[in-house]
Amino acid sequence: MELFKNIRLKIGNSILRNKVAKTDRKPHYSNIRQVKNIGLVWDASKIDDFSCLTRFFQKMAELKIDLRILGYFHGKNLPNQYTAVRYLSIVKREELNIFYHPVSSETNAFITNNFDVLIDLNFKKLLPLQYISSLSNARLKVGLFESETKNTPFDLMMDLKSPVSTEDYLNHVLHYLEMINSGSAN
């Protein structure tokens, strides 16, 4: 069974690379004051991170930035705290195709949304979340530093010591987004 999973993952990664090669996206970011919305992809199996994401949502609300979180949960039973949260959507295992690509209309809407910033919290490099981050139409994509920068979907990468704390990571992302000022008003 593990052999078939690895073959499906390899095919899924290959299909994703081909799709990414066909996309034409131009990164753009001027400054944090211009940001109206942020998309965030997250490994929802890290239940302890939920309180940190709630605080980050509140901080964004204070800055008048709309935050949408799309998580991937591979377990069978969704934790209670994930239900009825308006800024959180969860992709479940049954919403993936045979190659681990998410196929729900909610995921497609997230990918096609022109977020000003996309923040990737996919520290384990799960293929469903890589798919979303790689194909996202976001103007600026932020993720963890990868030594293989040729195939990275990210425009801005954070290099943090392992293990990476979600709270520290989000604080670093916000810090650097506040520092960047391209001088462009558009």
Per-residue confidence in pLDDT tens, the chain, 186 aa: 677 888 999 999 899 988 888 888 888 888 888 999 999 999 999 999 999 999 999 999 999 999 999 999 998 888 888 887 889 999 999 999 999 999 999 999 999 999 999 999 999 999 999 999 999 999 999 999 877 666 788 999 998 888 889 999 999 999 999 998 776 554
CATH class label, 2-179: alpha beta
Question: What is the model's pTM?
Answer: 0.91
Those residues with Cβ within 8 angstroms of residue 1's Cβ, 6 or more apart along the chain or in another chain = none
Taking 3-state DSSP, the helix, strand and coil percentages for the chain, each rounded to the nearest 5, stand at 40, 20, 40
Cis link prior to 163 (omega < 30° from 0)?
A: yes
Q: Residue 123 is which amino acid?
A: F
